[in-house]
Structure 1
Amino acid sequence: MKLETGSYWSMINDYLQVTSSLFLPASSLFTIFAQNKHSLKTKKIFLLTACLSIQLSFAQFAKVIDKDGYVNIRENADANSKIIGKINSDEIVYIFEADNKNWANVSNGYIHNSRLKYIQTYQAVPPTVRDANKAIFKSGNIKVNIVSGKFNFKENEKDFTSTLNGDYYKEQQVWGIDRTIPKTHYISITAQIGDKTIQIPEKEIENLFEVNNKSTTCYYDRINDILYISMLNSDGAGTYAALFTIEKGEYKGRTLEIPF
């Protein structure tokens, strides 16, 4: 499908023709800008990409922790603001760019930061390998092995469908592509904690495309024996964040979000 000229996503796609990485250092971005200083279109792309990069740098997953068993969602970042919903303790939320140091911006409102435990504050499980085809993380008796590879669209084209609500692969919403053909996918994700080996079900990874192993991280909540595997995949309009949770040696589920 052709993108409308000058639209939000067409500007992102134009920028991606200039560079294959959304997360360029500032010096590289300014170089591109300087080389095209007479082009209004390039200036727009530069500003758009810079803003998107900043948004993604702040965005992250967090766990709700509240002694009352739930936390209130406020309409605005204010304790006196209208309560528009509740989220139970232990649920995972995605935090978007912060515009208030005391309040976290979730998809439909605000939660006070005192009621959140950010996933990245748990013990990190460091990577030993992270490349285009695999990622391995290891710390003590914990090991995570992620295998990815090229996706054969021609062989699997029959399993894709398009509806008014979006694109689907094997009856699941597609993540990572935006009017493009998927090039990479997950083959397997396996975690080993002590003497337990946990395989993420194929159904949970088969609709996730455009893998970026270098943006994958792992964290371990040792007190509650919970392993978190966090990903930021694809780029531009297709960017998505994913979090897999393994608790006490059992796979608990995934959380998916468009991070902007």
Structure 2
Amino acid sequence: MKNLIILIALLLTTVIATAQVAIIQDKDGYTNVREKPNGQSQVIHKLYSNEAFWYDYEEGHDTNEWIPVFIPKNLFSLNSTEVSYIEGFIHKSRLQTLDKLQPYKGTDFKFEYLIEPFALNNRVVDKYNGAVAAIAGRPVWGTDGNFPITQINGVNAIVEGKKVEINPPLYNDIYECTNTFKVYKNGDCYIVYQWNSDGAGAYQVVWVFTKDGLKQRLVGSMI
């Protein structure tokens, strides 16, 4: 089990090592994800508006019209025992990188972590060659094999005057967070994007909200 956790972490880091976060831009509200980089290839998935995913940054800047994308298998990045994404291709014209969106400066959306010093509190720790691989069976995002310095004790999110409940499983695997992040609005969605780390274990977090609640949490790392 310990070896499996480490192997998964290494695979994730390697595969999305050049990946960045994007959403789609498509008037139909969705984009087909194809098995191979051509329009005749089998459709293996659909990406919908404001659904965050990773794309290959290096291949996205060459002349290829089809870009590799890495899509989480579930919308909240909760998997800890398997490689939790599928790989496919979308047409470059359908790609919308987050940094091209308009930053949100309004008051209808508020987001804040409640941050406290790390405390193990009798949680089970998995180690591999002396490095912390998992806490309570969950990944330890934000460290490079050490115990975290800080943890989250809650998340305050308010969308258009309505408080959004965010349960502990959605924040108890992300560490070394700060309240410095970028917020974008696209249509009726508010998108929070940030990097967190202890200096070496850098990773990305993306939260996607509407007035109806939390729609997605994307968590991953790249080097």
Higher Cα radius of gyration: 1
Kindly provide the amino acid, as one letter, of the partner of residue 48 in structure 2: S
Quote the residue 1:148 is aligned against. Answer: 115
Given the alignment of the two structures, is residue 72 of structure 1 paired with residue 39 of structure 2, yes or no? no
CA RMSD of aligned residues (A): 3.2
Kindly provide the amino acid, as one letter, of the partner of residue 86 in structure 1: H
Kindly provide the amino acid, as one letter, of the partner of residue 249 in structure 1: D
Is the Cα–Cα contact under 8 Å of residues 31 and 94 in structure 2 kept in the other structure?
no
Distance (Å, rounded) in 2 between the aligned partners of 1:84 and 1:115: 15
Q: Unmatched 5+ residue regions in structure 1?
A: 1-8, 10-51, 127-138
Count of equivalent residues: 185
Shift of 1:205: 0.5
Greater relative contact order (Cα 8 A, min sep 6): structure 1 or 2?
A: 2
Is the Cα–Cα contact under 8 Å of residues 32 and 45 in structure 2 kept in the other structure?
yes
**Alignment TM-score, normalising by the size of structure 1:** 0.59
CA, structure 1 residues 257+84, in 2 after alignment: closer, same or farther (shift >3 Å)?
Answer: farther
Aligned counterparts, 1:1-260, within 5 A = 55=18, 59-66=19-26, 67=28, 69-76=30-37, 79=38, 83=42, 85-90=44-49, 91-101=51-61, 102-107=65-70, 108-126=87-105, 139-152=106-119, 155-156=120-121, 158-162=123-127, 167-214=133-180, 216-221=181-186, 223=187, 225-234=188-197, 238-260=201-223
CA, structure 1 residues 212+194, in 2 after alignment: closer, same or farther (shift >3 Å)?
Answer: closer
Distance (Å, rounded) in 2 between the aligned partners of 1:236 and 1:86: 36
Q: Unmatched 5+ residue regions in structure 2?
A: 1-9, 11-16, 71-86
Is the Cα–Cα contact under 8 Å of residues 113 and 178 in structure 2 kept in the other structure?
no
Identity of aligned residues (%): 22
Q: Which runs of 4+ in 1 moved over 4 A?
A: 80-84
**Alignment TM-score, normalising by the size of structure 2:** 0.67
Higher helix proportion (structure 1 or 2):
1
